[in-house]
Structure 1
Amino acid sequence: MSSGPGSSTSGAGARIAERARRVVPGGVNSGQRSVPGLTDLVITGTGGARFRTADGREFIDFHAAFGPPLLGHNDPDVARAVAEAGTSLGHMGVGVTEGEVLLAEQLVELIPSVEKILLTSTGSEATFHALRVARAATGRRLVVKFQGCYHGWHDSVSLNVISTPERVGGRDPISTGILPEVLEATLVLPFNDSEAVRAAFAAHGQDIAAVILEPVPHNVGALLPHQEFLTTLREETTRAGSVLVFDEVITGFRHHTGGWQTISGVTPDLTTFGKAMANGAPVGALGGRADLMDLFSSRPGGPTFFAGTYNGHPSVVAAALATLRKLREEPVHEHVFRLGERVRTELTALYQRLDVPAVVAGYGSVFVTYFMPGYAPGQLPGSYTDLLANDAALFVGYRRRLLEHGLFELPLNLKRSHISYAHTDDDVDRLLTATETAVRSALADGGAGDLAHTSTMGGARD
């Protein structure tokens, strides 16, 4: 694909990317940014629903940085708020600013589980602290996570995200360098399997400190939870005295300002949030029951250490306040939900017309196509094991070909796509037309060939 980003003839992009590889391992600052076949992708500008590359190309962006810029790239209201904050307030590292208080008050108001909240710089930090305080509160050792869910880079949860078939059912770390005894303290269960949850609590309930899950495992596309499954988690953790943690780094704010817990009516004990609350600015948060949150050392005498140099930085607080204001005052969710429903409906019709076995899944502004047979209209996969049937070559192959039409969906297996407030119906028209052409081309060429191996990648959100 000589005209696409990452090709050997891509000029300026290739030169900058080569410079990067000489001084940055792999040329990128996060493992998920190195995409096979796109190693010379150099971004020079972002705005709204588009980005530009060093080679002068512009793409309609349906990847959207793994989802945080719900309003679109460089939203002018958010950018203005950040710039204004920078004229009067720098980072002090002591005390508190009124902006931090305003943000905390709004999050307590919006999120059912949140009585008190602490800011972090990343979602990984938030999930790390959630598990630490759960162990502190319960005095227990074990953590339960679910196959296909990703909760960040720390050792307790760095396993069993996108696993190969033979690694499903056992412990499948996504990194070397993790102590075996740390991995042994994490139980991995299948998502949406209430019986497995009950069995785990029957066997280990008195030693389970926490259950952590993405209420929608978006790191493998979009597995929607069964209501009975979420209810079972709440019942079993309550009965055993364990801490239920919803990782809403992705579902929070994108699907509802109150998170998935508002949609489902199931309230966890702790909730983690991420960059979506600030339209992509580097912020995370951990909130929940006051008795748990008061265990942190931010409260004098709290026994569970909590710190972070950039927690509550004025610029990211300003971004978060501006983002929340827009989410509450403008029809953001109405717009992205309408476009998302249109994409899912019309993609489903497109694949039926092409006679391609496919399931178009998602929720609200999120969509993903799994290329797999055997699903009736309206039927959706419910577990990671179901997704092993996805045709990874076709999945990656058609997305590679979308690049030729100026559209970007991340060409890695199982990765979801996103609608932002900046996307338009014209953008959706272009997506639908290009997708049909790209899928036809990928089918004619036999998919993606050697790129199909990307189905085994472990990490998920940037």
Structure 2
Amino acid sequence: MKPRSVPSGTTLAERARRVIPGGVNSGQRSIPGLTELVIARAAGARFWDTDGREYTDYHAAFGPPLLGHNDPDVNAAVTEAGRRLDLCGVAVTDGEVQLAETLAELVPSIEQVLLTSTGSEATFHALRVARAATGRRLVVKFQGCYHGWHDAVSLNVISAPDRVGVQDPISTGILPEVLDATLVLRFNDAPAVRAAFAEHGEQIAAVIVEPVPHNVGCLLPDPEFLQALRDECTRAGSVLVFDEVITGFRHDLGGWQRISGVTPDLTTLGKALGNGYPIGALGGRADLMDLFSTRPGAPAFFAGTYNGHPAVVAAALATLGKLRTEPVHEHVYRLGARIRAGLTEVFADLGVSAVVTGHGSVFVSYFMDGPVPRTYDDLLRNDAGMFIGYRRRMPEHGVFELPLNLKRNHVSYAHTDADVDHLLEATRSAVRDTLAAGGVTELAGTATMGGAVGNG
């Protein structure tokens, strides 16, 4: 049935729900308790809603605007590109060549690269070409890692305790035989990786991993774990894929692979690459990339109408240029360290058991006793009610952190020390108010380990 005419006095959020399923265009944007939030504008470290309320933004759209919202230099580059060129859909542009050369220069694993519009597309094509190269069926992923919406990896992200260790798809409508071709292992468990390769090595086409599983906040990898992935893939002839859609450029211009010294065969990129413009990339060894049908006669089909769109290419070139010439990482690393230390002090003052962790510009507070979590199993100790409950109260203090379980926070180049001071005081007040309310029973049904999944 078509929606009837909109009654007078209907809010924008209500109008959205009439014509958009759930009122939002991605599954993680509909927030219980914040269903009337409609964004009007964004700039720097802030956004404003249609009621004029201002929020200092630490959610940051799951991480893309490393430079801050609406960065003027990035926007200027996009505007200039639009004066000269739009989508022609044939051959290649000078910007695409420049961006590919830049990515190959910066990221250790990249010899050749193809552009996509999203990170999910990049991971999809990574697994497709790995199967094309090896002729094998199985893919290995890890509990708590999110690699996009496509079927082969749509399982075991934020799982309820009784779903850890068994298949836990994030959606219905997936063929069981597709899920059966994916092995799910425990992150940071090198012996489990060796055992899986001992049993299935000749059938494993690829191992895909977030080198830092930021979709569950922040699990820092043990160096020997990433090296074990490299060693086992090399030994078995499997393809090692680093999903650096989040870690790439946010933590280092060379991605986590440069930090760790472990080089994968393929790398997927996105998010901070374009500072919020819709771009992804897949790059890696030339012999693998040459299997894509962008080279005539190659067997792995690759296409996308908007791949390499001049506007997003210009955004990426401007973003990378700024990351290379200005102290962006120095600034966000300093503020991130200050936030983590400050939050640790706030929780200690309030007598709240919490572990504050993260890396560089990413921070997250788990409400549990130490030590710092290493695996998803460790995160089952997190008090999801407290995690969500205090974040529900942060907008009252003009601060936005996504109130979904295990979701990380981000610092941008536009954040200041004054913003950090505000964040710490807002957190103190929000946590104190949550404790004073006698718990978070009003969150029953939403404060679970199986709630939010990936990015959106």
Tell me the TM-score normalized by structure 2: 0.97
Secondary structure of 2:167 counterpart: coil
Query: Which of 444, 450, 453 in structure 2 is aligned with 1:459?
Result: 453
Superposed, which structure 2 residues align to 1:75-90 within 5 Å? 75-90=71-86
- Check the 8 A contact 1:13/1:42 in 2, yes or no: no
Mark the CA change 1:59 to 1:19 in structure 2 (over 3 Å): closer, same or farther. same
Which residue in the other structure is 2:311 paired with? 315
How far 1:418 moved relative to its partner? 0.4
- Check the 8 A contact 2:404/2:452 in 1, yes or no: no
Take 1:313 and 1:125, find their aligned partners in 2: how far apart are those partners?
15
Query: Which of 34, 47, 52 in structure 1 is aligned with 2:48?
Result: 52
Query: Which of 426, 430, 433 in structure 2 is aligned with 1:434?
Result: 426
- Check the 8 A contact 1:256/1:263 in 2, yes or no: yes
Query: Which of 143, 153, 156 in structure 1 is aligned with 2:139?
Result: 143
- Check the 8 A contact 1:174/1:458 in 2, yes or no: no
- Check the 8 A contact 1:278/1:319 in 2, yes or no: yes
Which residue in the other structure is 1:418 paired with? 410
In structure 2, the gaps of 5 or more residues are 1-7
Which residue in the other structure is 1:6 paired with? none
Take 1:231 and 1:437, find their aligned partners in 2: how far apart are those partners?
43
1:178 paired with 2:174, answer: yes
1:36 paired with 2:28, answer: no
Take 1:461 and 1:454, find their aligned partners in 2: how far apart are those partners?
18
How far 1:454 moved relative to its partner? 4.0
Measured against aligned partners, the alpha-carbon deviations of 1:56-103 in whole angstroms (never above 9, x if no partner) come to 101000110100000000000000000010011010000100000000
The letter for the 1-side match of 2:411 is I
How far 1:451 moved relative to its partner? 2.3
1:163 paired with 2:159, answer: yes
How far 1:14 moved relative to its partner? 6.9
How far 1:209 moved relative to its partner? 0.2
Superposed, which structure 2 residues align to 1:319-334 within 5 Å? 319-334=315-330
1:62 paired with 2:58, answer: yes
1:134 paired with 2:130, answer: yes
Take 1:302 and 1:388, find their aligned partners in 2: how far apart are those partners?
45
How far 1:131 moved relative to its partner? 0.1
Take 1:238 and 1:353, find their aligned partners in 2: how far apart are those partners?
49
Take 2:441 and 2:122, find their aligned partners in 1: how far apart are those partners?
38
How far 1:450 moved relative to its partner? 3.5
Take 2:165 and 2:253, find their aligned partners in 1: how far apart are those partners?
35
Which residue in the other structure is 2:378 paired with? 386
Take 1:179 and 1:228, find their aligned partners in 2: how far apart are those partners?
35
Query: Which of 17, 20, 41 in structure 1 is aligned with 2:16?
Result: 20
Take 1:272 and 1:447, find their aligned partners in 2: how far apart are those partners?
41
Which residue in the other structure is 1:354 paired with? 350
- Check the 8 A contact 2:405/2:452 in 1, yes or no: no
How far 1:136 moved relative to its partner? 0.3
Report the identity percentage: 73
Secondary structure of 2:56 counterpart: strand
Secondary structure of 1:21 counterpart: helix
Mark the CA change 1:445 to 1:80 in structure 2 (over 3 Å): closer, same or farther. same
Which residue in the other structure is 2:5 paired with? none
Mark the CA change 1:85 to 1:269 in structure 2 (over 3 Å): closer, same or farther. same
Secondary structure of 2:62 counterpart: coil
How far 1:123 moved relative to its partner? 0.2
Which residue in the other structure is 1:209 paired with? 205
1:263 paired with 2:259, answer: yes
The letter for the 2-side match of 1:330 is E
Secondary structure of 1:175 counterpart: coil
Which residue in the other structure is 2:279 paired with? 283
Take 2:365 and 2:451, find their aligned partners in 1: how far apart are those partners?
18
Take 2:170 and 2:9, find their aligned partners in 1: how far apart are those partners?
30
The letter for the 1-side match of 2:453 is G
Tell me the TM-score normalized by structure 1: 0.95
Take 1:280 and 1:460, find their aligned partners in 2: how far apart are those partners?
17
The letter for the 1-side match of 2:264 is P
- Check the 8 A contact 2:154/2:171 in 1, yes or no: yes
Superposed, which structure 2 residues align to 1:399-414 within 5 Å? 399-414=391-406
Which residue in the other structure is 1:5 paired with? none
Mark the CA change 1:263 to 1:14 in structure 2 (over 3 Å): closer, same or farther. farther
In structure 1, the gaps of 5 or more residues are 1-11
How far 1:275 moved relative to its partner? 2.3
- Check the 8 A contact 2:28/2:452 in 1, yes or no: no
The letter for the 2-side match of 1:340 is G
- Check the 8 A contact 1:17/1:39 in 2, yes or no: yes
How far 1:360 moved relative to its partner? 0.2
How far 1:459 moved relative to its partner? 2.1
The number of equivalent residue pairs is 447
Secondary structure of 1:32 counterpart: coil
Take 1:458 and 1:270, find their aligned partners in 2: how far apart are those partners?
28
1:368 paired with 2:364, answer: yes
How far 1:440 moved relative to its partner? 0.9
The letter for the 2-side match of 1:213 is V
Secondary structure of 1:31 counterpart: coil
Segment drifting more, 448-457 vs 15-24? 448-457
The letter for the 1-side match of 2:451 is M
How far 1:13 moved relative to its partner? 11
